[in-house]
């Protein structure tokens, strides 16, 4: 038990980079969390409702955060291709630059990357199992990447023009998913027990690219 406690205390200390008083580079911690999420989310999750769920805020608070990020030109709204009544929140080039240069968690990313690929994969898998356990005891996982989701399926052999770029299909949204989209976060994610669809080489490429 002392070892368990020590591990959890270290985890909490690492997570402190996420929460702070006041602001860093003009954004409060929740605004950073929102910008970071929107920079990594797929097209189904870049909505005000999904954002509110991810950051654990009311829709009114999430809407205020979106306005702040828009004012700073870090975010823009575009009509959704999936649902004409909704909007998709898109991180602008300026927002991406701000994330890459000033995101408070960049120090943690660099520290984890310095562990090397194998350790990084082990850490990812261990934390993933911990979160699965929390998920099973009622604290649901907020979001994870498409490639590990039970709704992701192979699309089958290409037969038409539009199929060249869509290797997969989402069985929940009944929509095509391109290979590069399988690395993005989704708030409708449901974990699958196996990981057969995309080979482990992608893990190594992700660690190398620190994505």
Binding site for ligand SF4 (CB under 6 A): 42, 44, 146, 149, 151-152, 170, 172-173, 186, 188-189
Burial class (CB in 10 A: 0-12, 13-18, 19+), 114: exposed
Q: Which is nearer to ligand SF4, 74 or 189 (CB)?
A: 189
- CB neighbourhood size of 93 (10 A): 9
Query: Token pair of 149, please?
Result: 């989701």
Q: Which of 48, 108 has the CB closer to ligand SF4?
A: 48
Q: Does residue 61 sit in helix, strand or coil?
A: helix
Identify which of residues 71 and 174 has a Cβ nearer to ligand SF4 in the complex.
174
CB of 41 to ligand SF4, least distance (A): 10
| Shortest Å, Cβ 43 to ligand SF4 | 8
Cβ nearer to ligand SF4, comparing 22 with 193: 193
- Torsion-angle region of 132 (φ positive above 0: left; ψ -120 to 50: alpha; else: beta): alpha
**Residue 26 Cβ vs ligand SF4, minimum distance, rounded to whole Å:** 32
Alpha helices (H) along 2-88: 2-15, 29-40, 48-55, 59-71
Query: Min. distance of Cβ 188 from ligand SF4 in angstroms?
Result: 4
């Amino acid at each position: 038990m002392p070892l368990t406690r020590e591990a959890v205390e270290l985890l909490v200390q690492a997570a402190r980079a996420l929460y702070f008083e006041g602001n860093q580079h003009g954004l409060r911690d929740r605004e950073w969390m929102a910008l970071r999420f929107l920079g990594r989310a797929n097209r189904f999750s870049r909505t005000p409702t999904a954002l509110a769920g991810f950051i654990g805020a009311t829709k009114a608070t999430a809407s205020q955060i979106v306005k702040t990020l828009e004012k700073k030109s870090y975010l823009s709204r575009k009509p959704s291709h999936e649902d004409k009544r909704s909007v998709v929140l898109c991180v602008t080039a300026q927002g991406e630059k701000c994330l890459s240069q000033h995101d408070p968690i960049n120090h943690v990313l660099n520290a984890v990357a310095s562990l090397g690929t194998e350790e990084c994969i082990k850490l990812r898998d261990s934390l993933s199992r911990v979160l699965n356990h929390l998920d099973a005891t009622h604290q649901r996982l907020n979001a994870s990447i498409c490639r590990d989701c039970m709704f992701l399926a192979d699309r089958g052999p290409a037969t038409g023009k539009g199929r060249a770029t869509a290797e997969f299909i989402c069985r929940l949204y009944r929509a095509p998913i391109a290979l590069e989209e399988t690395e993005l976060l989704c708030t409708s994610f449901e974990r699958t027990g196996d990981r057969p669809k995309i080979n482990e080489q992608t893990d190594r490429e992700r660690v190398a690219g620190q994505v």
